[in-house]
Amino acid sequence: MGYRLSKIYTRTGDKGETGLGDGRRVPKDHPRVEAIGEVDTLNSQLGLLLAGLAEQALSEVSEVLAPCQHRLFDLGGELAMPSYQALNTLEVERLEAAIDHWNEELGPLKNFILPSGSALIAQAHVCRSQARTAERRCQQLNALEPLGAVGLAYLNRLSDLLFVASRIIARRQGIDEVLWEAAKRPE
């Protein structure tokens, strides 16, 4: 592929603007840049989860989640270059198949669970909540500048997958899920 970045700093953003892949300059707080940033944060959090999964030898979960880092990078490319299309419905279907497969083993959820139990379980929930944030930022951008439906669906399904992954991690680690206990009502 060759070298893409000859310099890490360019000084072109020092006055609060950044360049998009199509050559446009936009403010750094533009909804498109916000969406790109949230997808990037999700990708970084997912990297942290994958590192923990590798340490715990949970390759079954890693094999499902590792491709998501690449697809999130693709989504970032779509956001940076509005005419670029990288994601396709097969990726959304892959996530759905993984959700369905793991859910068969887990069975129905009978109560709300807390993002707790182990560092890996909690990190999966951090990724899930970050996926929801990225999805909200993309939906905000979509209201201003229509986005491709596949990217929006991908983020939605990824957050679902991360929720189910947190439950599978708990099961593989032999850790009981921490169930929510409602506050007692005053008598």
> Domain residues of the chain, as ranges?
26-173
Only one residue has tokens 């490319």, namely 77
Confidence (pLDDT) at 125: 98
CB 138 within 8 A of CB 147: yes
Residue with more model confidence, 10 or 128: 128
Q: Which range, of 24-38, 118-132, 160-174, averages the lowest pLDDT?
A: 24-38
Mean pLDDT of 99-105: 96
Which residues 6+ apart lie within 8 Å of 117 measured at CB? 170, 173, 175, 176, 177, 178
CB 161 within 8 A of CB 99: yes
Instruction: Assign domain 26-173 to its CATH architecture.
Output: Up-down Bundle (1.20)
Confidence (pLDDT) at 82: 87
pLDDT tier, 1 (very low <50, low <70, confident <90, very high otherwise): very low
* Element at 122 (helix H, strand E): helix 119-144
* Cα–Cα nearest to 161, from 88, 95, 105, 103: 95
CA distances for 158 relative to 30, 38, 41, angstroms:
24, 14, 14
* pTM across the whole model: 0.90
In the chain, pLDDT over 90 holds for what percent of residues?
74
pLDDT tier, 7 (very low <50, low <70, confident <90, very high otherwise): low
